[in-house]
């Protein structure tokens, strides 16, 4: 690996640059080198991330760390590097093409104010692939893919990142004498910095559109995209702020397992498949979970599968449980042995399962629901006629489970009661619901 040369971050062995005569890329790299030297950057703590395009040829000329990635994604690699090691200096070199395909990343890097410095090599077209138009091509310009003249409005790269939270934004060109000063300012800003650096593509854009040094300023003026430092408003840098926020949480442990001890017995010889057909907001999944934990506390193996719409506060909830004295392999419940149907939403979804149930199976059906088609025996549950708080629908699933355990002693009521977590009135009533179910007439 080439050793750094004093006074420069460029590798003399790789020079001259491979760019076309008159191309601005070499100027940008020389000014960047000057800025890095002035700042006294440590090459080992600096990563130059390059995008695709002619600007992507830049990194090999530097004696720093170099990361050459995919088109438009350079900002994402830079973000990962900075998040992993907030003390790194990370500089992104990308073209106007990269700002198009990767515009989403620019906006979000600005929103985060992630501490990277983006230098845009803005030559108003795709120089590497043959002079096609880019997001920065001015109106009317002739390019390989705009033979009628550019009809799209150019993106104001500086305004885009500026309005979305970038803390340092400047527009300049390779003809501005203070370009290295602007780069130094950008590098010194701890948050997200971007310098939109206009230049000539002497292979395609400049000759096709008679663009030259003096015309660059005129185009910028005409578009209302003036040069200079446009925005400088330091605020918290993301990688540092993330770590401060994490530290301020105090010492919390990551989630550990919470194994259950089998302290109760059970009376199950063969697996039992249970379908609980409920509705959103009626504590169906949590009741099924309590029964599952009760099963494990009773020495059983249990699986639980839940189904509900993506709009979680509405519609059906189906919980399928298998309780078995042996390890459960196939976890499907196409034909339940027991179904508990409490609400119209769950009934609508479970009709197929109910119709498929065998004659020896049992359906507990809330008594206000319409008749169902099934060969299973149907036991009505009069839950609306209960006195007091038990009438509330969020207790019905536990009441029904209490009733089930009275009729079919799979496991003890105590195991289910112990498996209802939480403190306070609600938890107290939930535990009471099991007993209320067991004494249903």
Partner 1 sequence: MREFIDGAEAISRAAIRAGCNFFAGYPITPATPILLHLTRDLPRVGGVAIQAEDEIAAMGMRIGAAMAGSRVMTATSGPGISLYSENIGLAIMGEVPMVIVDAQRMGPATGAATTTAQGDVQFLRWGTSGGYPVIVLSPWSVASCFTLTLRAFDLAERFRTPVFLATDKEMVLGRTTVPVEDLVEIPVRERRMAPPDGTFIPYPEDAPLGVPEMAVMGGPHIVRFTTSSHDARGHLTKAPAAVGALNERLTRKIEDHLEEIEWVREDLEPDADTLVVSYGTTARASREAVEAARGAGHRVSHLIVESIWPVPEAAILRAAEGVQQVLVPELNTGQYRREVERVMGGQAAVVGVNRVDGELITPLEILEAGGLS
* 39 is a contact residue toward partner 1 (CB under 8 A): no
Residues 281-300 that bind partner 1 (CB under 8 A): 289, 292-293, 295-296, 300
* 249 is a contact residue toward partner 1 (CB under 8 A): yes
* 60 is a contact residue toward partner 1 (CB under 8 A): yes
Q: Give me the sign of the Cα torsion angle 394, 397, 401, 402.
A: positive
Comparing CB distances to partner 1, the nearer of 222 and 348 is 348
Taking CA 168 as the corner, what is the angle to CA 165 and CA 169, rounded to the nearest 5 degrees?
90
* 271 is a contact residue toward partner 1 (CB under 8 A): no
Contacts of 306 (CB under 8 A, 6+ apart): 285, 288, 317, 318, 319, 320
* 360 is a contact residue toward partner 1 (CB under 8 A): no
Measured distance between the N- and C-terminal CA atoms of the chain, rounded to whole angstroms: 85
Binds partner 1 by CB under 8 A, chosen from 159, 208, 229, 328: 328
CA dist 361 → 349, 353, 364, 439 (Å): 19, 12, 10, 22
Comparing CB distances to partner 1, the nearer of 294 and 341 is 294
Binds partner 1 by CB under 8 A, chosen from 16, 21, 177, 259: 259
Binds partner 1 by CB under 8 A, chosen from 148, 151, 270, 329: 329
Provide the minimum distance between the beta carbon of 163 and partner 1 in the complex, in angstroms, as a whole number: 16
Binds partner 1 by CB under 8 A, chosen from 267, 307, 421, 427: 307
* 85 is a contact residue toward partner 1 (CB under 8 A): yes
Size of the site for partner 1 (CB under 8 A): 73
Q: Indicate the angle between helix axes 74-84 and 238-248, nearest 10 degrees.
A: 40
Provide the minimum distance between the beta carbon of 332 and partner 1 in the complex, in angstroms, as a whole number: 4
Segment lying near partner 1 (by CB under 8 A), choices 19-27, 103-111, 193-201, 224-232: 103-111
Provide the minimum distance between the beta carbon of 29 and partner 1 in the complex, in angstroms, as a whole number: 16
Provide the minimum distance between the beta carbon of 386 and partner 1 in the complex, in angstroms, as a whole number: 30
C-alpha 335/C-alpha 235 separation (Å) is 60
C-alpha 270/C-alpha 415 separation (Å) is 19
Contacts of 265 (CB under 8 A, 6+ apart): 298, 299, 411, 412
Comparing CB distances to partner 1, the nearer of 71 and 232 is 71
* 411 is a contact residue toward partner 1 (CB under 8 A): no
* 305 is a contact residue toward partner 1 (CB under 8 A): yes
CB burial of residue 393 (10 Å; 0-12, 13-18, 19+):
middle
Provide the minimum distance between the beta carbon of 50 and partner 1 in the complex, in angstroms, as a whole number: 9
Comparing CB distances to partner 1, the nearer of 219 and 328 is 328
Is the distance from CB of 21 to CB of 44 less than 8 angstroms?
A: no
Residues 149-208 that bind partner 1 (CB under 8 A): none
* 276 is a contact residue toward partner 1 (CB under 8 A): no
* 45 is a contact residue toward partner 1 (CB under 8 A): yes
Residue that the structure tokens 């062995």 belong to: 13
Residue that the structure tokens 């939480």 belong to: 422
* 257 is a contact residue toward partner 1 (CB under 8 A): yes
* 7 is a contact residue toward partner 1 (CB under 8 A): no
Segment lying near partner 1 (by CB under 8 A), choices 24-32, 101-109, 119-127, 362-370: 101-109
Which value, in Å, is the radius of gyration of the alpha carbons in the chain? 34
Q: Give me the sign of the Cα torsion angle 87, 88, 91, 92.
A: negative
Comparing CB distances to partner 1, the nearer of 77 and 198 is 77
Residues 105-134 that bind partner 1 (CB under 8 A): 105, 107-108
Neighbours of 278 (CB within 10 A): 30
* 79 is a contact residue toward partner 1 (CB under 8 A): yes
Segment lying near partner 1 (by CB under 8 A), choices 32-40, 42-50, 190-198, 357-365: 42-50
Contacts of 274 (CB under 8 A, 6+ apart): 291, 320, 321, 322, 323, 333, 336, 337, 338, 339, 340, 404
Contacts of 253 (CB under 8 A, 6+ apart): none
Contacts of 14 (CB under 8 A, 6+ apart): 2, 60, 61
């Amino acid at each position: 690996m080439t050793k750094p040369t004093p006074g420069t971050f460029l590798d003399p062995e790789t020079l001259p640059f491979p760019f076309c005569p008159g191309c601005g890329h070499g100027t940008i790299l020389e000014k960047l080198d000057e800025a890095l030297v002035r700042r006294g950057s440590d090459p080992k703590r600096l990563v130059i991330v390059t995008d695709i395009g002619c600007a992507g040829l830049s990194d090999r000329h530097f004696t720093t760390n170099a990361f050459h990635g995919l088109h438009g994604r350079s900002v994402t690699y830079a973000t990962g590097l900075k998040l992993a090691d907030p003390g790194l200096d990370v500089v992104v070199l990308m073209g106007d093409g990269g700002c198009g395909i990767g515009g989403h990343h620019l906006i979000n890097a600005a929103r985060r104010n992630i501490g990277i410095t983006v230098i845009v090599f803005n030559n108003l077209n795709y120089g590497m692939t043959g002079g096609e138009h880019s997001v920065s091509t001015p109106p009317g310009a002739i390019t390989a893919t705009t033979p009628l003249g550019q009809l799209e409005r150019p993106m104001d790269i500086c305004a885009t990142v500026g309005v979305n939270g970038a803390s340092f934004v400047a527009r300049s060109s390779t003809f501005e004498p203070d370009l290295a000063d602007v780069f130094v300012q950008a590098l010194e800003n701890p948050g997200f910095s971007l310098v939109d650096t206009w230049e000539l593509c002497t292979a395609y854009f400049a000759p096709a559109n008679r663009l030259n040094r003096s015309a660059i300023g005129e185009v910028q003026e005409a578009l209302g995209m003036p040069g200079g430092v446009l925005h400088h408003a330091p605020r918290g840098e993301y990688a540092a702020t993330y770590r401060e926020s994490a530290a301020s949480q105090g010492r919390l442990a990551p989630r550990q397992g919470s194994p259950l001890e089998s302290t109760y017995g059970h009376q199950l010889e063969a697996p039992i498949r249970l379908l609980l057909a409920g509705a959103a907001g009626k504590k169906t999944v949590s009741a099924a979970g309590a029964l599952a934990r009760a099963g494990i506390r009773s020495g059983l193996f249990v699986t639980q599968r839940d189904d509900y719409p993506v709009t979680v506060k509405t519609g059906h909830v189906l919980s399928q449980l298998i309780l078995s004295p042996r390890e459960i392999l196939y976890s499907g419940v196409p034909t339940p042995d027991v179904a508990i149907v409490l609400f119209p939403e769950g009934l609508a979804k479970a009709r197929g399962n109910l119709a498929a149930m065998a004659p020896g199976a049992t359906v507990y059906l809330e008594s206000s629901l319409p008749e169902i088609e099934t060969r299973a025996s149907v036991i009505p549950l009069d839950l609306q006629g209960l006195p007091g708080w038990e009438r509330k629908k969020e207790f019905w699933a536990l009441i029904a489970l209490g009733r089930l355990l009275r009729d079919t002693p799979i496991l003890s009521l105590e195991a289910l009661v112990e498996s209802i977590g939480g403190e306070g009135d609600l938890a107290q009533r939930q535990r009471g619901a099991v007993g209320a179910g067991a004494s249903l007439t």
